[in-house]
Each structure stands twice: as C-alpha cells, then as structure tokens.
Structure 1
C-alpha cells in the first residue's frame, strides 16, 4: 500500500457529530493518523443515533464519518484527563474541535495552550455562529438551514420552507474546515508557522447560497422557493414521463435544440417564445406544458438513454440504492470494503494519481 498524501501527520480530533468528524475522516482517508477523543459514558453523540444499525449493532450514522480513526476515552472534566489531552496535542500536527466557543479555553486546551506545548500547531475550531455575538448559540444543521436562508429557497413554494434531505451545511462546513487546514499546513511547510483555522456553520451556509445570495447583493432580488425549478434557467426542472419523473437540466440553446429534435418537435427551438434562455424563462409555463405532453409518451429510462446520447443533460430521480447502482454502472466505484467493518461504505470522492486515499480501519468501537 502506497503512503498517503498526509502520511505521518497526526490529528487530535476533539470533534463530534458531523462537521468536524467529516473533516477528520477526510484527513484520515488522505493518510493522516487521526486520534478521536471521546467522552466517557457514551462517546460521540452519533454512536446513539440509531436506527438504522449495522450487522454489528453500531449506528450507521456514526460509521458514515469515522473510519480511519483511533478512539480514546478521556474525561476532559478531570485534571488527569486534561493532562492526557494536552499530551496528545503536544504530539499532534493538527487539532480539530467543535465545542461551543470558549469551552476548550476553559479546559486549558485552547489555541494558546496548544501552541505552548506544540509550536507550529494547526488548530481548527468549528462553531455554529462564530466566536463573536453568536458564540452562545447552539449550532445544529437544521437550525442553520433555517436562519441561514437555505430553507427559504428549498421546498415546493414559499409557504412550505423545506430542509435539504441530509445535513448539508454540516458536510459543507467540514469541507471548508478541510480546505482551511490544508492551507495552514501548506503555510507551515513554507514558514514553520502554525495558525488557528476557524469556520462556522452560518458563514458556510451563506457562502453556499452562491447565485441566490449574489442575486440579492447585486440586483436586490430576494429569492424564494420555486420547487424544482431554477430562477435563471429553463427547462431546468422535473417532468413527468410514462412511468416516473425525470429531470431536464438544459443549460444552453444548443442543448435545447437537441432536446426538441429528440422529442420530435424541432419547431420549438425556433418558436419565438423559446429561442433563447431569457425567452424560455419568460414563457416557462407554456414550455413546461408542451414538453410534458411529449415526455409522457415514453419511460424515464428510455428518455435517459435517448437524451444523453444526444448530449442533453437528463436523468430519472433515483433513490439512494439506484444512485449507488448508477455509480457502479459508470465505473466510479462508489462504495468500498473497509477492513473490519460490518458493511461497505461510500468511497472518498477524491482521486489522487500518486498518493491515493486509503481505507485502513473501520470506525472504532468505543474503548472500554
């Protein structure tokens, strides 16, 4: 097995639940040694977040973000536990924590404490709402999706704000933490200097609103939920077919012309209502009705094959099982066997030619 890109890097992982553990799992996949510090009496909260449970009775939620880690139980409320934790920090390159702001400082394990015992430490703090006026607020993904604007643009219409089906803000925050840690490590490699890395759920949610936030800042447009439609593109939504729904994601005029040819209605591409994207957005309802009338004549899988052969982005709405099966058919190897794990897991999506990710160990059991 070749050495990973982060082989030799040691991470002291004080994080729990999702954002922090996702970031540290990614570091572990890339070759780092990750030591997960857990509380006595139960460990990471997600160990109890079942069902579903795997064949070994372990919560699959915990398993999703904790492979390639070792686990040690430490009572951070005791003097002996804090001393043990400080010893781990002294031997680490990276610290990751997502306690409420000020908690690690009160324990004597904050950034200033860490760099006293380990000059050059990269110390990543993940919070819900930053370390200022929002420091006391609890950071939960659903809450941040609500107050961060994401739910306002998600759902069938403005009267039914809806959360995303996974804790997306947590995952995105974990990825931002990973990027910040990697940047700090690159800086340390050049200068020998460590630094503190901070990110928070709300800032990540706001950054991830991308075009929706830009539309407000640049044009004063406050976006609202449009179901499966796109505010700036048409046709870019869900349509009925003879059996199940299909998505069309037509991003330019060439793709639209190809769509009309496959549907047997090439005249639509020269119809004044649909000749360019601006016109199609203005006449969205008429276009939707016309396309639906044509699409219901065949099955979603038939259209998937025909449209993709013609270069038109389209596909059926798969469930999770069907989505993983699609990845397999496309040769993406979306799942992997983990040594000692009761079930396969979703693979790391990063492909490196010289230092590929590795899957060395199953999510750890809680030490006795």
Structure 2
C-alpha cells in the first residue's frame, strides 16, 4: 500500500505540490496517483519534412499506428489523474515498470537512464508567475524511442513548450528534417531557457530590495529576502542535477542520440552552466542583503541610542541644578547660606543658567559630530 507520508513545508509546497515518496517496503514499480491531479489529456504531433499532423487522441491505443512509421511522433501527455490510462500508456509504449513509476510519480530528481531501446530523461520545468516574483515548477518526463518521443507533464496550465509546437507546425528551422533525438534536444533547450525569465524577475526584485534595505529596512524586507533565498535554493536543486543529466547525454554513447545532436546538447549544457552561475550569484546577493539588513538595523538602533544618550546628557546637569535649588532648606541662620533663594530675579536667572548649560552641551556635541547621522540611514 502506498500512502502520503508527510506534508511538504509551506514554501516548498508551492514549488513541489505533489512531492510524495513510497512507504518503506513498497514493491518496485508502484504508481502513486494524486487525488487532485488533472485528468490526462493526450496530444499527438506526427511530422515529416512535408507532412504534419497535430491532434488530440482519446485513448493511448490510437497512438500505436504512428510508432512504427518513418515519421517522428511526439506524444504529449498532460495530467496524471487516471491510473488506468497511464497503465495503458505504459503497455502501448512497452515501458519498463520502473520507467512508468518514474514518469508518473512526481518529485523525481532530474536524471537520465538507458533502457536499451528507450532512453528515460527526467527534467524540471519552471514558468514565471505573472506580475509577481516567483515561479511554477513541475516535472517533465521524456521517453525517447527510435522514431518517437513520449513526454509526460504534471499540469497542463503551465507550459513553456508551445514555441516548439509552433516551430514544428510552421516548419521553422531544421526540426522537421531531424529525428526524435533532435526533438528531445529542442524541448530540453526550451526547458533550460525557461529558467532565464524567472531569474530575470529575481534580479529585478533583488535590486529593489537592495535600495529598500539601505534606505528603509523593515521586518517585511527581511521576510522577502528570506523567501527569495528559499526559492533560489529550489531553483538550484532543480538546475544542478539537470546539468548532470545533460552531461550524461553528451558523454554516454546511446544509439538513440546521433553525434550531430550531441553537438547541440553541448550548447544546452552551456545554458545550464549559465543558469547555475546566475542562481549562485543571486543567492550570494540575497545573503549579502541579509547581512546589510542586519547592519542597517544595528546602525539605526545605534543612532536611536545615541540620540537618547545626548538627550539624557543634557538633562543630567539640569536635573542637578533643579535638585539643588529644589531642596528649599531655610538657611538664614546657617553658616552655609544659600542667598539665591531670596533673590528677586533668582527664578529667571536659574532658568537662564539651565538654558545656557543645555545650549553649551548642544554646541559641544555638535562640534564633536555626535548630532549628525553618520550611518546615512533614515529613521522612521
């Protein structure tokens, strides 16, 4: 029996909403179906240099006539909400039980596995959210055969592969002159390139937070920095094994991938390295912003404490003078006479002396530079 063992933390849950793992002792090849998953929709694209077919099929068995032809067939399954359809899909494509398990169960680490006449590729696709900093993340599985490519997506709503479909339909480039391995490369390249718009959003947001941290840091600023660091960590966890997977495709000599396509995969590998560099750079920037935030808050607190100390220092001598003249001792018969108590102008003179002391202290503090905001941080 397979069951959900634990809930994913709130931040991670937004990125990997269907991340499950098996109960210890579960049989290999067991399929986990999420009760909230979308019903599978199967799309078929079959093409040659002078031929193109794109349609939605109702059952997996409708794809059988296209699998043994010389044309390239791309079967795209969107949604994982029906176990029967997925098992029938495995029979149509003669998938190994472990392949079907990896394809259906979300949360797999990006990887490449060779099954002689089939090549399994697990990738993670990210799509930026509109108008806000963040992204949707889902697993995309590839099963590459001689003349066909099976892709399985977690959700149909978030997809960065539409441009590839348009290129095939309109015959742009050389994609319709190449085999299924070139189609797999094209889709992988589109998935890797999908990381750049997401990282661009994070770059813009980090610039805004940098100004906010320096001039007006708040508790919400710290929360946003922490959230960005967590999300950048998820991006790093997605792109790092993806780089290793593409490196495996280049290094291993699978018969399903030609030498010409391996050359293109090198460019895809370079893109993954660029994405990794950007992710690491933004993570360092976010860590630096957190240090700057803590320094800014500390400097702001120091300025407040300095202001309070100055005010206290001014009132200390004033309190001393007021305390002396507030004792009201009758000293007429005492050798320690306090004649100021009987002066006609004693009260205003005392106030004038206290004002002069306060002004003198303020002038002294100003000359020493203690009244200026040396940190340059504006207080609320």
TM-score normalised per structure 1 = 0.22
TM-score normalised per structure 2 = 0.22
* Larger of the two Rg values belongs to structure: 2
